[in-house]
Amino acid sequence: MDWGALHTILGGVNKHSTSIGKIWLTVLFIFRIMILVVAAERVWGDEQDDFVCNTLQPGCKNVCYDTFFPISHIRLWALQLIFVSTPALLVAMHVAYRRHEKKRQFRKGDQKCEYKDIEEIRRQRFRIEGSLWWTYTSSIFFRLLFEAVFMYAFYFMYDGFQMPRLMKCNAWPCPNTVDCFVSRPTEKTVFTIFMIAVSSICILLNVAELCYLLTKFFLRRSKKAGNPKHHPNHENKEETKQNEMNELISDSCQNAVIGFSS
């Protein structure tokens, strides 16, 4: 059980996302999770061992470390990534529920059911409309909320995004104000800024997706009011090709993530 498993769980959602949603998922896995696993974890790996205070007083280092790092950057990012990925599961559950209903209709032998077999129901991609639109939009809203909350928590806890070289500590049992030195401050600052930048890109992608969905919703409403006819089959073929390409890309990404994380 690791990040690769999360990718498997979310990979299914990819099929039912918009194009911007697919880009967001790719950015999430390549520029955030993969960077966290292959690079950032090594940079923060020795953080307490190499945190050095200019005192021999036992316990002073532990207490100063705990004062300046209530929760490590790396753990905060891991939690952020988990929380930000989870709203997509709402969409996955809704799709699974719809599939379950269609399978039930098919088994009852409903005349209205347009599928030839169960496999077609399993493979079918649902359009983002009706109640699925509301679920999808709520999931994007929650994603945005979690991203913003975690970025604010980060900024609030660490007084900005820069890692200082030196911290002055006078918590008990340190006998007086003691100099404590953080290990690899510049490298940590670089990675912090990188992760914040990618978070911001993800926020922009989510906002763009939200605007796209709202625009589509209002356009569809005005179209329905004007002209009720439309041709779904032609659009579906192009979307199926796009889906196959995206699945090939996401499969190769999944193998890369599993390879790096194992």
Partner 1 sequence: MSWGFLRDLLSGVNKYSTGIGRIWVAVVFIFRLLVYIVAAENIWKYEHDEFECNIKQPGCENVCFDHFFPVSHIRLWALQLIMVSTPSLLVVFHVAYRENREKQHNQKLYKSPGEIDGGLLCTYLISLILKTGFEIVFLVLFYKLYNGFEVPRLVKCDIRPCPNTVDCYISKPTEKMIFLYFLVATSCLCIVLNLSELSYLIFKYSIKCYLKRYIKKHQ
Residues lying near partner 1 in the complex (CB under 8 A): 1-3, 5-6, 9, 48-49, 57-59, 61-63, 65-66, 69-72, 74-75, 78-79, 82, 86, 89, 93, 97, 173
Q: What's the CA gap between 221 and 224, in Å, rounded? A: 5
Q: How far is the CB of 156 from partner 1 (least distance, A)?
A: 14
Q: How far is the CB of 124 from partner 1 (least distance, A)?
A: 20
**Residue 180, strand partner residues:** 53, 167
Q: Whose Cβ is closer to partner 1: residue 7's or residue 22's? A: 7
Q: Whose Cβ is closer to partner 1: residue 68's or residue 212's? A: 68
Inter-residue contact 81 to 212 (CB < 8 Å): no
Q: Whose Cβ is closer to partner 1: residue 81's or residue 213's? A: 81
Q: How far is the CB of 174 from partner 1 (least distance, A)?
A: 11
Q: What's the CA gap between 169 and 176, in Å, rounded? A: 8
Q: Give the list of residues 6+ apart from residue 111 with CB closer than 8 angstroms, or none.
A: none
Tokens matching residue 43: 């940079």
- Residue identified by tokens 């809704």 is 94
Inter-residue contact 254 to 4 (CB < 8 Å): yes
Q: Whose Cβ is closer to partner 1: residue 93's or residue 193's? A: 93
Q: How far is the CB of 108 from partner 1 (least distance, A)?
A: 14
